[in-house]
Amino acid sequence: TIDQDNGVLVNAAREGLGYEMASEVIDMEPFYFEGINVDPADEPDEEDATTDVNHAPKAAVELRVVGGSTVQLSGEGSSDEDKDDITFSWGVPSEITVADKTVPVIEFVVPDVSVKTNFQFTLFVRDVWGEPSTQQRFVLVAVPAASQIQPEPEEEDSVVPVEPEEDTTPAEDETSGDDATTPYPLWDAATVYGGNWGSFETVSWKGHNYQVKWWSQGDQPDLNCAAGQAWTDLGAY
């Protein structure tokens, strides 16, 4: 009871003696329990946190060359850390004719195409010690002229001249030797040789064996085995 509350009795005695009562407010915030039922006032709602963010678009540019155009590819940016002189060796698709594949800059006419076509070129350079560079590849994208895209019959006609070229090459292979009597596979104009650096294939052709030096396709071994050309003549078999 209040009669037995020592704090109340002491305060009553102090009032009787003329003391002023002091009023003190106690901060109870540290004693509040922050549990699962308490929602922080500053925390955003889940719906606000999942707002979609717009992303900027990306621009892209692709070089395309119309069939029949004259193009130059330059390797003049090649260099040697030791300042040695370097020689050039281009790998050119069989559909494209280049006058000299050992010059820094090659010039050629892009074949006429009926559909978008990729032509892959490669470049090796060597220093005076014969040390080769890594293989550099360049893909040239050829497209038909805008006036040739609409008529479909023209697409079929443009493909027809290519087929006889492919058919005449195997005919030379059949007369050049027999697979059963040659020590290596016969050279094939449609096959890419030296495509993987470090793997230099050996072929047989017209009584001789040849080893490829770098990327080659369509380069007949017996006509391309001189210094600076794609093949090395290993001698007769």
Query: What pLDDT shows up at residue 39?
Result: 60
Query: What pLDDT shows up at residue 215?
Result: 85
Select the highest-mean-pLDDT range: 4-8, 68-72, 195-199.
Answer: 68-72
- Same domain flag for 135 and 74: yes
Q: What is the mean pLDDT of the chain?
A: 79
Q: Which of 81, 4, 24, 98 is nearest to 89 (CA)?
A: 98
Q: For residue 74, what are the β-bridge partners?
A: 105
Q: How many CA atoms lie within 13 A of 26 on its CB side?
A: 4
Using a cut of 0.85, tell me whether the model's pTM lies above it: no
Residues 218, 224: contact at Cβ < 8 Å?
no
Question: Given pLDDT bands bounded at 50, 70 and 90, which one contains residue 140?
Answer: very high
- Same domain flag for 137 and 69: yes
Judge whether 11 lies within some domain: yes
Average pLDDT over residues 71-99: 92
Query: What pLDDT shows up at residue 181?
Result: 81
Parent domain of 198: 170-237
- Same domain flag for 38 and 78: no
Domain's final residue, options 142, 163, 184: 163
Domain's final residue, options 131, 163, 195: 163
Judge whether 56 lies within some domain: no
Query: What pLDDT shows up at residue 38?
Result: 56
What percent of the chain has pLDDT above 90? 36
Report the CATH number that the domain containing residue 133 is assigned in CATH. 2.60.40.10
Q: Is the pLDDT of residue 162 over 70?
A: no
- Same domain flag for 194 and 236: yes
9-57 residue pLDDT tens: 666 666 666 656 666 666 777 666 565 555 655 665 665 566 789 888 8
Query: What pLDDT shows up at residue 145?
Result: 86
Question: Given pLDDT bands bounded at 50, 70 and 90, which one contains residue 79?
Answer: very high
Q: How many domains does the chain have?
A: 3
CA separation for the pair 67, 167 (Å, rounded): 23
Which residue did the predictor score with more confidence, 156 or 128?
128
Question: Given pLDDT bands bounded at 50, 70 and 90, which one contains residue 204?
Answer: very high
- Same domain flag for 86 and 127: yes
CA separation for the pair 110, 120 (Å, rounded): 12
Q: Which two tokens stand for residue 207?
A: 């009584």
Residues 185, 203: contact at Cβ < 8 Å?
yes
Q: Read out DSSP for the chain?
A: -GGG-HHHHHHHHHHHTTPPPPP-----GGGS---TTPPPTTSPPHHHHT--------------EETT-EEEEE-TT---TT----EEEEE--TTS--S-TTSSEEEEEPPP-SS-EEEEEEEEEE-TT--B-PPEEEEEEEE--HHHHS-HHHHHHHHTTHHHHHHHHHHHHHHH--TTT-SSPBP-TTS-BS-STT---EEEETTEEEEE-S-BSS--GGGS-STTSSEEEEEE-
Average pLDDT over residues 135-143: 91
Q: Which of 73, 152, 163, 78 is nearest to 115 (CA)?
A: 152
What's the distance, CA 48 to chain centroid?
A: 40
CA separation for the pair 216, 210 (Å, rounded): 12
